Structure 1
Amino acid sequence: MMTKSLETAENAFENGELEVALHSAKNYLKQSPECGYGWELLGLIQGTRGRFAIAVSALERASLFVPLRPLARVCLGYGYGKIGRTELSRDLLCDLIDNSQMTIDMLLQIASALDAIDQPGDAMRACRVATERDPLNAQSYYDMGHYAARCGYPIHLIEGLARKAISLDPENVCYRIGVAGMLIKQDRHDEAYGFVSELSLEQIQEITCECCLRKVVKLYETQHDYRRVVLCQQRLLDLELSK
């Protein structure tokens, strides 16, 4: 059971106040070095900060005292991959895929972690489970399409998954640009333009990938959509100035 001070550290972590959470967790553990939940929280904080070796060490220590909660187990599996313990990472992450405690977000995190250790087939399986648990989650289909491409699946299957994602979340700019880019590579420029022909100024402002913007600029130029050419070029300039 958590004490008030540990709850304070966890609340700071959940609110994204990582340095506050880190300081509070460390201070707590000085007084209660055998508190599994304290070490678990420290591991989650350090994992979020990108300090993966420390995160793994803290989570392993936590597991000596308490069963790790679902998010901590995902973090541990991801951390193993980041520090080069790829077989252990894959074993842990694959075991979690069929765990009913995994949320959709956790399953997508598992998929990303598996892909990071060059296991796109397993990443696809995690996404497939996510779609089975929530058939209306667009991100699951889109991510599955990305991993399918990494596995070398036929383009029609990859395209179908991306189109499914767009049908579920038609306002998602990332999905639309991703499909457009795929179609451009197949010289299907008219179809590609159809996915981005109605992007608003606000939607173009959401784009943060300079490479994606340049592809869209060329597409708009071929379609004589000069208004959006200017909007995308302005966005590129904004991104350059923000560096």
Structure 2
Amino acid sequence: MTSADCLYRIAAERFDEGEFANALRVAHDGLRRDRYHPGLLQVYGLASFRLGNPPVALEALETASAVAPLDPLARLALAELHLLGGWRRSAAAALRFLAEPGRCPTPLLADLARLCGALGAHRAAFKVCRRLARLRPWYHPAHYGMAYYSAKLKRPPARVIRHLRVAHTLAPGVIPYRVALAGALADTGRATEACDLVRPVPAEALGCPGCLGRLLRAATAAGDADLEARLRARLDDVRDRRCGGPSECFEA
């Protein structure tokens, strides 16, 4: 084992412990001994990415990929960097590779689904979420992801609602799940059930004009005057606001 190999082991341990600055420093010291050590390049790139330095991360990870096949975490990070830089074909190739069964460790599947979704590969994102839900049935974001990408794929509302019910049952305190389920029920004409779900939610927790509009129509249809007034007032407050994305709004 070379001195660079020893430093790689130390740098990798620091990275796994979340000590990204220390991992970067140790990896840098190791690269002074072996500038093309694939493990050190990967740790250096990953730590740089976590520390908010995409250009350095991109250079290190691309160099590492030219020396040896990347580990899944580094491959995923490089795909995200390519996506951020507008190199969609490179990102898509890496994500397709990782989306094949057995190529991405379970702890990384959520990030893989997120990046597939950001790329617009909704079918692949759905399949990754489904795989994660089967491996970890208790992991509610996977069920929410299945609902979200089912909606993007224009699948029947009943399927979307089924996945949302599972997510909401597993995590009833997560407001986006409750709001998404209420919105889906409202869209299928089940206004009273939608109102029952959204009534406990503080109005200030609702920030998407589209969601508020659907729920407002449901409250009107259900004849719930108090809820209608609360939703209308909140909609007036946020009418010009843009939705914050999937973590805030199911329809984003």
1:48 aligns with 2:46: no
Q: Is the deviation greater in 179-188 or in 121-130?
A: 179-188
Equivalents in 1 of 2:186, 2:24: separation in Å? Answer: 46
Q: How does 1:172-191 map to 2 (within 5 A)?
A: 172-185=174-187, 188-191=190-193
CA distance in 2, matches of 1:36, 1:6: 9
| Deviation of the 1:126 alpha carbon | 1.4
> In structure 1, how many angstroms separate the alpha carbons of the residues matched to 2:86 and 2:30?
30
Which of 108, 111, 118 is 1:106 aligned to?
Answer: 108
| Aligned-pair identity (%) | 25
1:113 Cα shift? 0.8
Quote the Cα distance in structure 1 between the aligned partners of 2:38 and 2:163. 41
Written as runs of structure 1 = structure 2, the 5 A alignment for 1:70-219 is 70-100=72-102, 102-185=104-187, 188-198=190-200, 210-211=207-208, 215=212
The answer to which of 20-29 and 81-90 deviates more is: 20-29
How far, CA to CA, are the matches of 1:161 and 1:223 in structure 2? 30
When structure 1 is superposed on structure 2, of 176-185 and 137-146 the one drifting more is 176-185
Aligned pair count reads 226
Matched residue of 1:224: which SS? helix
CA deviation profile, 1:40-62 (whole Å, cap 9, x unmatched): 01221233345444333312222
Q: 1:59 aligns with which of 47, 58, 61?
A: 61
Query: Alignment RMSD, CA only?
Result: 3.7
Check whether the contact 1:138–1:165 (CA below 8 A) recurs between aligned residues: yes
TM-score by length of structure 2 reads 0.70
CA contact (8 A) 2:191 2:219 kept: no
Structure 2 contact 46–57 (Cα < 8 Å) conserved: yes
Deviations 1:13-53 (A, max 9, x none): 44545445444433442343232211101221233345444
The CA deviation string for residues 52-78 of structure 1, in whole angstroms up to 9 with x for no partner, is 443333122223444422211221222
Q: TM-score, normalised by structure 1?
A: 0.72
Q: Structure 2, unaligned stretches of length 5 or more?
A: 239-252
The secondary structure found in structure 2 opposite 1:153 is coil
